[in-house]
Structure 1
Amino acid sequence: MGVEIKIEHLTKSFGKQLIWNDVTLTMPAGEICVMLGPSGTGKSVMLKTLIGLLKPDRGSVIIEGTDIANCSEKDLYEIRKLFGVLFQDGAMFGSMNLFDNVAFPLREHTKKSESEIKRIVLEKMDLVGLIGAEYKLPGEISGGMRKRAGLARALVLDPEILLIDEPDSGLDPVRTSFINQLFVDLNAQINATFMIVTHDIHSVRVVPDQIGLLYHKHLAMFGPREMLLSSDEPVVRQFLNAQTVGPIGMSEEKDATELEAEKDMDLPPLPPIPLQLETSNGIPRKSQRPPGEWCRLNGVTPPPGSFRADSILSASAAKSSD
């Protein structure tokens, strides 16, 4: 079962360059969380801080009662055993075949026998659809297969927290859809807490339980998927709906002249909120909420056409007619 991650007043800078300031959020145990933001807003820095590779200037990251931002190296080593990490490119050792790459954490951090290691490795490779490719080298397979091999390696120690950095990077839309389905199915099976950093808006609209947005050196918003997808907060609305009207420009922020020119423009309507991606077997995940529940409980009227099977197509049609 996943564990809760509680971040309080987290601040990080490199020299005089502030990355983000006073970030506070709670990632519920066992839920899929996504962190978004324009390029350069410190999303990958956030992942490295969560696992203790970078120390924040101020604030705390509390996991199972331990503040990993301020704990001893011994305590940090123990807490890290809860984590699995999928890096952007899979981070495979080029001279090792996929079996040995996936087996590496078991050989490095456990005293399991080779027969037990083989059983675990093949189980995890089967989980990500790589049975039959065990003895291929990373250079002999596609980018999507390397990511799945990296995911299998991240799973071999049965993590309770899975950090995933840009899983769609370098993948075509079809492979991105497959890996999204894989994340949802994995979350249902292992109940780990997922934190995914991505730029893929379609993935963000259908996969997570919680969404966060980093912008202009702070956390603009973090909360349930429906809260952000129905939000009129300018930067949240602009980013999640891939719109040009709003405070984000080609650089992180638009200048005053650009904003002045937009002040009388009508914003396009919010697209329908799509149904959340289901597991392959159709059995709801423990953290999955009924469609529209957050909106109903909070008195929010969702955009027309929300929570229907054709909501994505409706949104595309509305965009093309504008």
Structure 2
Amino acid sequence: MGVDIKIEHLTKKFGSQLIWGDVSLTLPAGEICVMLGPSGTGKSVLLKTIIGLLKPDQGSVVIEGVDIASCSEKDLYEIRKLFGVLFQDGAMFGSMNLYDNVAFPLREHTRKSESDIKKIVMEKMEMVGLIGAEYKLPGEISGGMRKRAGLARALVLDPEILLIDEPDSGLDPVRTSFINQLFVDLNAQTDATFLIVTHDIHSVRVVPDQIGLLYHKHLAMFGHREKLLSSDEPVVRQFLNAQTVGPIGMSEEKDADELAAEKDMELPPLPPIALQLEPSNGIPRKRQRPPGEWCRENGVVPPPGSFTADAEHGVASAGVATAEATAVAGVPPIQ
């Protein structure tokens, strides 16, 4: 059973450099959340702050009534037992083989027998496709395999909160799709709270329940997936649709001359909102809302062609709304 994470007015600096300031959001219990942002905007710093590896300069991170930002080391140790963490580089112990790396949390935090540990470790390694590699050292395998081994280790204690930093880096598109499906299946099985940092736009469009975007030292937006995927907010629209037109430039922000030159440029239409991935067994997750429900509740007309199988595969027309699409979405067709 997942728990919610309440973040209020969070600010983090390194010396005089502000990473982000006054960040406030709630990660709902049991939902899959994704945090986006241009490179260097502090997404990994946010994950490390949530788990207490870094202390914020201001604000709070409250989990089960405990403020991670100000609690004692003893309380922090106990709260961390709720977490599973997949770091960006896998964070493997170089002198241990993959089996021992994955088994480490079980040996450190439980009194399970070695036979029980072996059963759990092999189950998790099978889930991430590493059977046969369990006795290899981290230095003997690819970065993608190290990432998958890190995921197996994050899962062995059946955490209530999973923090996942760029799970798709180093993975080919096929294995990225497998990992996405695995996250959805795990959430359905455990009802754990997920926070995933990623740059993979396809994953963002089909996996999460909630999406957030860090930009220019603040949280630009956080909310239901349909809210952001139908948003005309310039930075949100640009990032989620991988467009060159908008406030984000090669060095994060464009200068005034670039923005002025784009002022009268016509933006391409928003692509259709894809259907969310469903668990492999076809049974919707507890926290998964029906397609188009958020749009209906908030009077938002989604991009034409949304919430169809065609939209999921990126082949629906962005310029024509079909009767079938609008019926599924539950909103009036665009005339």
Q: Same fold (TM over 0.5)?
A: yes
2: CA distance between counterparts of 1:318 and 1:283?
A: 29
Contact 2:12 2:57 in 1 (8 A): yes
- Cα distance in structure 2, aligned partners of 1:90 and 1:118: 21
Counterpart for residue 261 of structure 1: 261
The structure-2 alpha-carbon separation of the partners of 1:89 and 1:71, relative to structure 1 and needing over 3 Å to count, comes to: same
Whichever residue aligns with residue 47 of structure 1, its letter is L
**For the residues of structure 2 that align with 1:44 and 1:314, how far apart are their CA atoms?**
29
Instruction: Quote how far apart the aligned CAs of 1:272 are.
Output: 0.3
Residue identity matched to 2:222: F
Q: What is the DSSP-based 3-state SS (H/G/I as helix, E as strand, rest coil) of the residue aligned with 1:129?
A: coil
TM value normalised by structure 2: 0.91
Do residues 189 (structure 1) and 200 (structure 2) align? no
The yes-or-no answer on 1:87 pairing with 2:87 is yes
1:267 CA drift (Å): 1.1
Deviation at residue 178 of structure 1 after TM alignment: 1.3
Report the counterpart of residue 13 of structure 1 in structure 2: 13
AA aligned opposite 1:86 = L
Post-superposition offset of 1:122: 2.1
**1:244 maps to amino acid:** T
Instruction: Tell me what 1:61 maps to.
Output: 61
Q: Is the CA contact (8 Å cut-off) linking 1:34 and 1:208 kept in structure 2?
A: yes
Give the % identical residues: 87
Instruction: Give the deviation of 1:142 after TM superposition.
Output: 3.8
Q: 1:42 corresponds to which residue?
A: 42
How far apart, CA to CA, are the structure 1 residues paired with 2:314 and 2:68? Answer: 45
CA RMSD of aligned residues (A): 1.6
Partner-residue secondary structure (3-state), 2:221 = strand
Counterpart residue number, 1:291: 291
Contact 2:25–2:222, Cα closer than 8 Å, also in 1: yes
Unaligned runs of 5+ in 2: 320-335
Segment of structure 1 superposing worse, 125-134 or 148-157: 125-134
Contact 2:272–2:318 (CA under 8 A) maintained in structure 1? no
Identify if the C-alpha distance between structure 1 residues 167 and 316 changes in structure 2 by more than 3 Å, giving closer, same or farther. Answer: farther
Residue pairs, 1:225-304, within 5 angstroms: 225-304=225-304
Query: What is the DSSP-based 3-state SS (H/G/I as helix, E as strand, rest coil) of the residue aligned with 2:125?
Result: helix
Q: Please say which of residues 126-135 and 209-218 is displaced more in the overlay.
A: 126-135
TM-score, normalised to structure 1, is: 0.95
Q: Structure 1 CA distance, aligned partners of 2:30 and 2:187?
A: 7
Identify the residue that residue 154 of structure 1 maps to in structure 2.
154
Summarize deviations over 1:164-199 as a string: whole Å, max 9, x none. Answer: 001111222122111111111111111110100011
Deviation at 1:314, TM superposition (A): 4.7
Structure 2: distance between partners of 1:256 and 1:94: 48
SS in 2 for 1:310: helix
Change (3 A) 1:236 1:101: same
1:234-284 CA distance string (max 9 Å, x none): 100000000111110111111111111111111111000001111112111
Match of 2:208 in 1: 208
- Equivalent pairs, count: 319
**Counterpart amino acid of residue 151 in structure 1:** L
Give the partner amino acid of 2:152.
Answer: A
2:169 equivalent in structure 1? 169
Give yes or no for contact 1:305–1:314 (8 Å, CA) kept in 2.
Answer: no
Aligned to 2:332: none
Segments of structure 1 that go 5 or more residues without pairing to the other structure are none
Which residue number in structure 1 is paired with residue 144 of structure 2? Answer: 144
